Structure formats: structure tokens, C-alpha cells
Amino acid sequence: MYEDKIKKELFEKLRELNEVVEERDAIEENTGLSYMELRYKCKDADYGGLCHREMQLEDDIRVLLSDSKRTPLTLTDNQLKKLSFYAKTIDPEDPLLGEKIEKSVDCELLNFADNMKERLKRVKPLLLTASIDPRTNGLYKQVIDCYGNGAFEASCVLCRAIVEAIAKRYIEYKGYGDLLVGEEKQLKKLTVPGVLREKLSIPIEIIKIYSRIARKADRILHERDEKAEENDALEAIQLLQSFMVEFPKTL
């Protein structure tokens, strides 16, 4: 009975998620406005409420999936939306409701597991060989974990955080940290690439790697429609590896 209750609640949450997404998308289509415009410029209360409810439902669904399978699970937003759309097609009074939901969830989990195995095969040759500090090594492993779990945008953004941390640490080590934070008013504040290029004579190819990683992450963070696919994340990891191998080391 407990499992049947979970499946029924999961079904209801999935159906509601589909309704919320459809209603939110309809507002965007009817107004011709982007997510950022509706949320922060126009501050549309109805749209904001739908976005908040969508996040709540996604969290609730992940908890219910974990409860039903007795193990922590990770499904991408696209997989959750696919499940929610499928739930829309099922009659709530269908006597086989629980079985159908179970099969659809199992199918998505099987696909997820197969895809993860393939991704881990692709990333296996990217095992880090550069000599780096334990903190950076731990962050790099999290990049790989994000990639393996299909969190491609998180993987790209974390790649940017790592190269920025490495570069800033080196800049401070060389005594130019004040140029970044602008503590001395008579000195012009520079970007990280600017200090690397103008003050430290870092090879332009290394700076280009930094900039490529940073640009992709910036678009993900600041442009709602910017997505990261598997190849984007894999490329970011490859660039990160090159950066860590080629960039000068601190003591």
C-alpha cells in the first residue's frame, strides 16, 4: 500500500509539472518575452509563481523517485519533463496506473544508466595526469561526476570556476592580485585574461583556452536559452585538462 501511495502521488506531481510547464511556455509565446524579461524586468507575478512551482515539483518528484526505488536517483530536467508528458496521457482511474508509471520510470532509469556508461567510457581517457593540489583535484573529479550524470551545464560552469581559481591564485602569487580587486585606486582594474596577457606574458594559446571555457559558462549562467550538450561538456573538460597541464604552477 505504501508503494502504491507513492506511485499515485508521483503520477499526480508529474501531471501537474506538465501543466505548469505548458502554462509557463504559453505565457512566453503569447507575450513574446524571454524568461529574464518576465521574471526580472516585467516581474510578472503569474509567471514567477509558475517558475517557482515548477522547481518545487521537480524537487518533489526526485524525492518520490528515490522513495519508490529505495535509492538516491538523478534524472535530468528533460527526463522529468518526458515523464510528466507521459503521465498526461494516462487515465488517473486506470487500474494499471501504478504499473504504467513504474514501467515508464524504469525505462528512463535504464536509458539513464546506459547513457552514463557510455559517457564514462568517453571520459576515461581524460583521467588527469597533471600535478595539481588536492583541492583542485577534488573539484576536477566533481566535473567528471557532473558529466557522467548528464549535468552538462554544471560541468561547464565548474570548469570555468576551476580555471579562474587557478589563474587568480597564480596572479596573486606573482604579486598582481591588487590589479584584479582594484584595491589601489591609481591602478587600472584588469580582467583575469588582461593580467595574464599584459603583466605576466602568459602564452596567448593558454589565455584563449581560459576565455573559451569562461565564455561558454557565462552564456549558460546569463542566457536562459543557452544549453550545454554532451559534446559541449566533453570539450570543456578537454580544454580544462589542457589548461591545467600548460598553465604555470605555483609553489
Q: Which residue has the higher pLDDT, 181 or 230?
A: 230
Tens-digit pLDDT profile for residues 166-183 = 999 999 989 988 888 655
Report the alpha-carbon distance of residue 250 to residue 169 in Å, rounded. 8
Report the alpha-carbon distance of residue 181 to residue 226 in Å, rounded. 29
SS3 182: coil
Half-sphere exposure at residue 134, Cβ-oriented, CA atoms within 13 angstroms = 0
Q: What is the pTM of this model?
A: 0.63
The angle that helices 230-246 and 134-148 make with each other, rounded to 10 degrees, is: 160
Report the alpha-carbon distance of residue 38 to residue 27 in Å, rounded. 9
Q: What is the largest CA-CA distance in the chain?
A: 75
The pLDDT, as a whole number, for residue 236 is 94
245's CB contacts (< 8 A; 6+ apart) are 129, 130
Q: Which residue has the higher pLDDT, 86 or 13?
A: 13
Domains and CATH numbers, the chain: 2-114 (no CATH), 127-246 (1.20.120)
- All three cell numbers of 57, joined, read 515539483
Tens-digit pLDDT profile for residues 184-221 = 555 557 889 999 999 999 999 999 999 999 999 999 88
